[in-house]
Chains A and B, each alone.
Chain A
């Protein structure tokens, strides 16, 4: 109860056009801004509102939340050989990253599901090792059952103060049980509702990235693409390390717009996590890692309004603070001036927001390009990617953004690899990039 009280609701009314909650050491930092700090009066216009969240620093290893993780490993026939051996090595690497009070379960599936290690304290390393050693490949792919059983193990010791996760490693498509991307997305959503996120790790070039991406995204987890199994152990090591640095979970951003502003869409995020009702937008965000940034960009339609200083939006960010193990809420209001001075408007551009907008628009187009490519309209997809690269390149030089420059090059590369033997690999790269913020792409977040 005390923690609830200490989780003071902070509200800051920004005088100008930029709002930021005070950077409390134990609180998520929230910044919100429009792409222009000043809006045009008496003019219908499109504006973008960016809300950026930054995870706070954890007070050392002791301070982090205990993990409650089920590692679900595909042991179907395609995993035979080095893949399964590497998967074992990865599981061992993960185990090495765990603290004694963490909980881990290991589930393997082929046609059916086996619980190799039921949810166990990580201190019982010997029996976990024995479970890992039992892993051997052969059979079909009951991915749905595997994930559900993984979640069942997580559920056994699920408490809010833990980071509750299923980490799924698969190199193939699901073929036993519900196996479509939308069904796995539905599974992800219901797990998310329970507070369990699924991190999906696609191994090699044979897995179904749509399905893995959907599952991860809908559950609020991450998707990782590993091209070669020899990278597995390293990725697991990093991933489990990052998992331990989660500072906020069940993050929900609620934006309420003033009259005269209409929410159009949230750029570059899964539709399932967004709910737009009237003037209110609710977005469910994935967990937030220490010192890491995540943001969302909302496109607005602004009706012609007279010159004035208006509170355009209130932003509420609620989350479960892992460090304090309490519900936290950060609220703020954003004001903007409406002016007839066009010159002033154009000078008021906020580069950080513009960069985010460009990058998200590119992301949206990249999704479209994938759809076109899937329909076999390769040339159109290519043009879209090239346009993307061009726009981003211009943005990069205009705002001096390394991020955009890097992205521009990536889209160029995509445009050249929409066909041929590289396509399969490239599609996985693009799909992953499409659902993850550029900040997270840098890390192997689990």
Chain B
């Protein structure tokens, strides 16, 4: 993978990862918000039902006030006729139990001929209350004995004949009066005060509120919504005393509000994400531009040089040929090498060699870029190539005061592309000359190993070395290990790329390995190891 692809990937990640992260978190937040809104809508229904219960409580309190007044107005007598008449005048009740301070029933009179049929029926249905001591215990808790230590009034609900009935009792220290409040009366009072369904067309709320009694039966309901048989109420609230077992339920269509809120938020989120994406994309694009500008410029340069190189090759060949001829003539004339003419000639030869290597590299690189690079194997002895290459570089290395050490043991004849091997080594030596000049030393080691028969060649220097992290990057075209390093160093930045391509075409590789001294200890400097397989590699077929 080359640096641009990695950069591209990195930049894509830079755009995509925050987008996905923000999008995911945002989407979740919107979802939470929607759930929250839904919950608050529903708890709003619950609140409404609670305030409805409060309203009912107000009605009940009003009822209680009236009942308290009746109880107080009830004559302090056991004369049934007087009590009856007093009760008959009260609109909210018509029957009552009166117990004396010992909890004994004194009215209605349990005496045949004095008790009326209605009273008898009333006594019958309230038997558990006055006989079972329900009132007594309630009263004893309270003020019946004069010690006001507990409630002196309250509700008792009881069931009779399938209906719920209520007694409201009041103890004043001398007696307990329990007034009957029929369930129907209480319902009538509630229903008359609860809202009705707005007339068709005036109601757009599509809601239904249901008041259900202790048995779950609907007592009253209002609102235009007709809930389905199995529809779950949006809110259910149990009511307060004396209607503890009653419930208020609220039915409503799925609220569109949370959905609308979520919709708005989602739109905003998508817009935000789009904006963020755009910003990140623009940022990434700028970075991409900045990062690739150099490469593009270099590539353009190479491209230009590539074209120029073709033009240069022919004159350069002529220059080299005539330089060689001139050198031969000098040698024939046995001129002193120290002669200025001889030195000038050497420079011409060296620089033209260098120029031709440059051109060769450029042309090779161009072919590599266009996937036209190929190798041509033939039987050669690797050491011969190495010796020849070292000889070619000799003057330049010498001028750079770099001592050359060799450990050559690749004497076997194997099938390689000698030009490729030469180019690889040449590039490596050229790099040593350029970047490891400070080490003043280079060592070339060659071996031919069995297994798959292969040439292993190491080029070790004592220069600044290459950090482990950058061992791969150095092979990227136009990349240089450090600006500091490359300060004042010329070059195209394509040498190692070409070298590796050529090595890989041989089915081998070129890599940076750990530098080791002769004793196997790690030492400073850089070591390139070339492995080229002698067997024909797959790419060789082409």
* Distance to closest chain A CB from B80 (angstroms): 8
**Contact assessment for A144 and B220 in the assembled complex, using a CB-CB cutoff below 8 Å:** yes
Q: Is B196 in contact with A115, judged by CB distance below 8 angstroms? A: yes
* B115 located at the interface, meaning its Cβ lies under 8 Å from any Cβ of chain A in the complex: yes
- Report yes or no: A136 in contact with B200, Cβ–Cβ below 8 A: yes
Contact B200 A134 (CB under 8 A): yes
CA distance A149 to B193 in the complex (A): 9
Given the complex of chains A and B, what is the CA–CA distance between A352 and B163 in angstroms? 43
Complex interface residues of chain B between 82 and 128 (CB less than 8 A to chain A): 84, 91, 94, 113-118
Q: Is A148 touching B115 in the complex (CB atoms < 8 A)?
A: no
Q: Are B226 and A111 in contact (CB under 8 A)?
A: yes
B contact face: mostly helix, strand, loop, or mixed: mixed
Chain A residues within an 8 Å CB radius of B338? none
| A276 pairs with B220, CB closer than 8 A | no
B196 touches A113 (CB 8 A): yes
Q: Does B258 contact A (CB under 8 A)?
A: no
Determine the distance from Cα of A145 to Cα of B221 in the docked complex, in whole angstroms: 8
Number of contacting residues on A, CB 8 A? 36
List the B side residues contacting A178 at CB < 8 Å: 184, 187, 217, 219
Q: Does A341 contact B (CB under 8 A)?
A: no
Q: How far is the CA of A107 from the CA of B222 in the complex (A)?
A: 14
In Å, the complex CA distance between A282 and B226 comes to 46
Within 8 A of A (CB), among B208-226: 208, 217-224, 226
Q: Are B161's CB and A142's CB within 8 A?
A: no
Q: Are B116 and A276 in contact (CB under 8 A)?
A: yes
Q: Does B419 contact A (CB under 8 A)?
A: no
CA distance A194 to B184 in the complex (A): 14
Whether A277 contacts B114 by the Cβ 8 Å rule is yes
* Interface positions of B from 163 to 218, Cβ below 8 Å from A: 163, 182, 184-185, 187-188, 191-193, 196-201, 208, 217-218
Chain A residues with Cβ below 8 Å from B224 are 112
List A contacts of B118 (CB < 8 A): 275
Question: By the criterion CB–CB under 8 Å, are A155 and B192 in contact?
Answer: yes
A134 to B203 alpha-carbon distance, docked (Å): 14
Which residues of chain A come closer than 8 Å to B199, judged between CB atoms? 114-116, 131, 134
Given contacts A148-B191, A194-B91, A275-B117, contact A177 B219 (CB under 8 A): yes
List A residues 107-138 near B (Cβ within 8 Å). 107, 111-116, 131, 134, 136
User: Is A183 close to B, CB under 8 A?
Assistant: yes
Whether A186 lies near B116 (C-beta < 8 A) is no
- A187: which B residues are within 8 A, CB to CB? 184, 188
> By the criterion CB–CB under 8 Å, are A151 and B192 in contact?
yes
Determine if B488 is an interface residue (Cβ-Cβ < 8 Å).
no
Binary flags per residue of A73-97, CB closer than 8 Å to B gives 1, else 0: 0000000000000000000000000
- A275 to B220 alpha-carbon distance, docked (Å): 32
> Which one of A142, A180, A190, A278 lies within 8 Å of B185 (CB-CB)?
A190
A113, B218: Cα distance in complex, Å = 13
Which residue of chain A is the closest to B186 with respect to CB atoms? A190
CB contacts (< 8 Å) of B200 on chain A: these are 114, 134, 136
Q: Which of B116, B163, B221 contacts A183 (CB 8 A)?
A: B163
CB distance from A88 to the nearest CB of B (A): 15
Q: Does B451 make an interface contact (CB < 8 A)?
A: no
- Distance, CA A113 to CA B219, complexed state (A): 12
B220–A190 touching, CB < 8 Å: no
For residue B185, which residue of chain A has the nearest CB? A190
> A152 at interface (Cβ–Cβ under 8 A)?
yes
CA distance A368 to B185 in the complex (A): 30
Given contacts A178-B187, A190-B184, contact A112 B162 (CB under 8 A): no
Q: Which of B113, B188, B196, B222 has the most CB of A within 10 A?
A: B196
- Given the complex of chains A and B, what is the CA–CA distance between A116 and B297 in angstroms? 87
A151 to B184, CA, bound (A): 14
B116:A275 contact, CB within 8 angstroms:
yes
Interface residues of B in 12-69 (CB under 8 A from A): none
Within 8 A of B (CB), among A5-23: none
Determine the chain B residues whose CB is within 8 A of the CB of A114 once the complex forms.
196-200
Q: Which residue of B lies closest to A262 (CB)?
A: B113
Most B CB contacts (10 A, CB to CB) among A112, A151, A190, A194 go to A112
B184 touches A145 (CB 8 A): no
Q: Which B residues are in CB contact (< 8 Å) with A351? A: none
CA distance A112 to B195 in the complex (A): 10
Q: Mark A168-199, 1 if CB is under 8 A from B, else 0.
A: 00000000111010110011001101100000
Measured CB to CB, the residues of A under 8 A from B are: 107, 111-116, 131, 134, 136, 139, 142, 144-145, 148-149, 151-152, 155, 176-178, 180, 182-183, 186-187, 190-191, 193-194, 271, 275-278
Q: A180-B162, A275-B116 are in contact. List 7 more A-B contacts (CB 8 A).
A: A112-B223, A134-B201, A142-B220, A178-B184, A183-B163, A187-B188, A276-B117
B residues at A contact (CB < 8 Å): 80-81, 84, 91, 94, 113-118, 161-163, 182, 184-185, 187-188, 191-193, 196-201, 208, 217-224, 226
25 A–B contact pairs at CB < 8 A? A111-B221, A113-B197, A114-B199, A115-B196, A115-B199, A131-B199, A134-B200, A139-B226, A145-B196, A148-B192, A151-B192, A152-B191, A152-B193, A177-B191, A177-B217, A177-B220, A187-B188, A190-B182, A190-B185, A190-B188, A275-B118, A276-B116, A277-B114, A278-B113, A278-B114
